[in-house]
Amino acid sequence: MKKKDTTIAVFGIFIVAVVAYLPALENDFVSWDDHEYIYENPHITSLDIRFIKWAFGEFYAFNWHPVTWISHAIDYALWGLNPYGHHLTGIFIHSLNSVLVFLLGLKLLRCYRGMASEYILLTDNAIMTAAFVSGVLFGIHPIHVESVAWVSERKDLLCGLFFILSIIYYVSYADSCSGAKSACNPSWLSDRNYLKSFGFFVMAVFSKAMAVTLPALLLVIDWHPFNRFKKGETKRVFYEKIPFVLISFYLSFATIAAQPSLSVGNYPLMYRLFVGFNSMLAYIRNIFLPQNLSPMYLHPDDIDGVSFVPSFILASLVSAVLVWLAKEGRRTALAVWLCYIISLLPVIGIIKVGSQSMADRYVYLPGAALFFGFSFGAVFFAQRINHKLSKGSSAIFRAGLASSAIICILALAVLTKAQIGVWRDSISLWQRAVYVISKTDERKDYYRNSSLVYLFLGKAYKEQGRLQEAIEYFSETLRRNPRFIDVYIYLGEAFTLTGQLNEAARTYTDALNISTNAGNNVNLLTGLSNVYIKQQKFDEAIEAYRSLIKLKEDLVWPHFAIAGLLAKQGRLDDAIKEYRYIISRQNKYAVAHNNLGDLYERQKRFNEALNEFRIVFEVNPQFKGIREKIVRLEKLL
Any idea of the CA torsion for 203, 206, 210, 216, to the nearest 10 degrees? 50
Report mean pLDDT in 10-residue bins for the chain, 637 residues. Answer: 85 96 96 91 91 89 90 95 96 98 93 61 83 96 96 96 97 78 65 94 94 95 86 82 92 71 58 78 92 84 64 86 86 93 85 71 94 89 73 73 87 95 95 86 58 92 94 93 92 94 94 86 91 93 92 88 92 92 90 91 90 91 88 81
589 and 550 co-located in one domain: no
CA atoms within 13 A on the CB side of 34: 22
Separation between Cα atoms, residue 495 and residue 66, nearest integer Å: 42
- Among 421, 438, 459, the domain-final residue is 421
- Among 406, 421, 436, the domain-final residue is 421
Burial class (CB in 10 A: 0-12, 13-18, 19+), 367: buried
Q: Residue 508: what pLDDT? A: 94
Q: Residue 73: what pLDDT? A: 95
74 and 129 co-located in one domain: yes
Q: Is residue 76 part of a domain?
A: yes
Burial class (CB in 10 A: 0-12, 13-18, 19+), 202: middle
Separation between Cα atoms, residue 122 and residue 111, nearest integer Å: 11
580 and 551 co-located in one domain: no
593 and 518 co-located in one domain: no
Separation between Cα atoms, residue 61 and residue 513, nearest integer Å: 32
- Among 381, 406, 421, the domain-final residue is 421
In one-letter notation, the amino acid at residue 389 is L
Q: Is residue 303 part of a domain?
A: yes
**Could you tell me how many residues make up the chain?**
637
Any idea of the CA torsion for 397, 402, 403, 406, to the nearest 10 degrees? 160
CA atoms within 13 A on the CB side of 427: 9
| Three-state DSSP state, 233 | coil
Q: Residue 177: what pLDDT? A: 77
7 and 52 co-located in one domain: yes
CA atoms within 13 A on the CB side of 66: 15
Q: Give CA separation, 331 vs 121, 200, 335, 339, in Å.
A: 16, 27, 6, 12
370 and 508 co-located in one domain: no
Question: Whole domain around residue 549: which residue ranges?
Answer: 449-555
Q: Is residue 432 part of a domain?
A: no
Q: Which residues lie below 8 Å from residue 2, measured CB to CB, with a gap of 6+?
A: none
Separation between Cα atoms, residue 341 and residue 189, nearest integer Å: 29
What pTM was estimated for this model as a whole?
0.88
Number of H helices, E strands in the chain: 28, 2
Beta bridge partners of 299: 448
In one-letter notation, the amino acid at residue 632 is R
Q: Residue 636: what pLDDT? A: 79
CB 369 within 8 A of CB 339: yes
Burial class (CB in 10 A: 0-12, 13-18, 19+), 550: exposed
Q: What is the number of domains present in the chain? A: 3
Separation between Cα atoms, residue 243 and residue 247, nearest integer Å: 6
398 and 266 co-located in one domain: yes
CA atoms within 13 A on the CB side of 363: 27
Sign of CA dihedral 243, 246, 249, 255: negative
| Three-state DSSP state, 111 | helix
Q: Residue 378: what pLDDT? A: 86
417 and 472 co-located in one domain: no
Q: Is residue 517 part of a domain?
A: yes
In one-letter notation, the amino acid at residue 557 is W
Q: Give CA separation, 237 vs 188, 219, 227, in Å.
A: 10, 8, 11
Q: Give CA separation, 479 vs 431, 442, 473, in Å.
A: 18, 16, 10
415 and 455 co-located in one domain: no
224 and 268 co-located in one domain: yes
Phi-psi region of 199 (alpha: psi -120 to 50; beta: other; left: phi over 0): alpha
Nearest to 344 by CA among 326, 324, 368, 322: 368
Q: How many CB atoms lie within 10 A of CB 300?
A: 19
**DSSP conformation letters of 450-508:** HHHHHHHHHHHHHHTT-HHHHHHHHHHHHHH-TT-HHHHHHHHHHHHHTT-HHHHHHHH
Q: Is residue 443 part of a domain?
A: no
Q: CATH code at 468?
A: 1.25.40.10
357 and 313 co-located in one domain: yes
274 and 318 co-located in one domain: yes
Nearest to 557 by CA among 573, 566, 545, 567: 545
Instruction: Name the DSSP class of 302.
Output: -
Q: Is residue 568 part of a domain?
A: no
Q: Give CA separation, 312 vs 250, 321, 350, in Å.
A: 31, 14, 13
Separation between Cα atoms, residue 558 and residue 302, nearest integer Å: 45
Separation between Cα atoms, residue 451 and residue 466, nearest integer Å: 19
Any idea of the CA torsion for 294, 300, 305, 311, to the nearest 10 degrees? -20
| Three-state DSSP state, 428 | helix
Q: Can you say how many angstroms the Cα of residue 506 is from the centroid of all Cα atoms in its chain?
A: 36
Q: Is residue 311 part of a domain?
A: yes
Separation between Cα atoms, residue 171 and residue 226, nearest integer Å: 9
Q: First and final CA of the chain: distance in angstroms?
A: 102
Q: Is residue 537 part of a domain?
A: yes
Q: Can you say how many angstroms the Cα of residue 13 is from the centroid of all Cα atoms in its chain?
A: 26
Q: Residue 212: what pLDDT? A: 94
Separation between Cα atoms, residue 348 and residue 414, nearest integer Å: 29
Residues 615, 618, 619, CA angle at the centre, nearest 5°?
90
> Per residue, what are the HEC states of 565-622?
HHHHCCCHHHHHHHHHHHHHHCCCCHHHHHHHHHHHHHCCCHHHHHHHHHHHHHHCCC
In one-letter notation, the amino acid at residue 381 is F
Separation between Cα atoms, residue 193 and residue 189, nearest integer Å: 10
- DSSP H or E stretch at residue 134: helix 124-140
475-498 pLDDT, tens digit each: 999 998 898 999 999 999 999 999
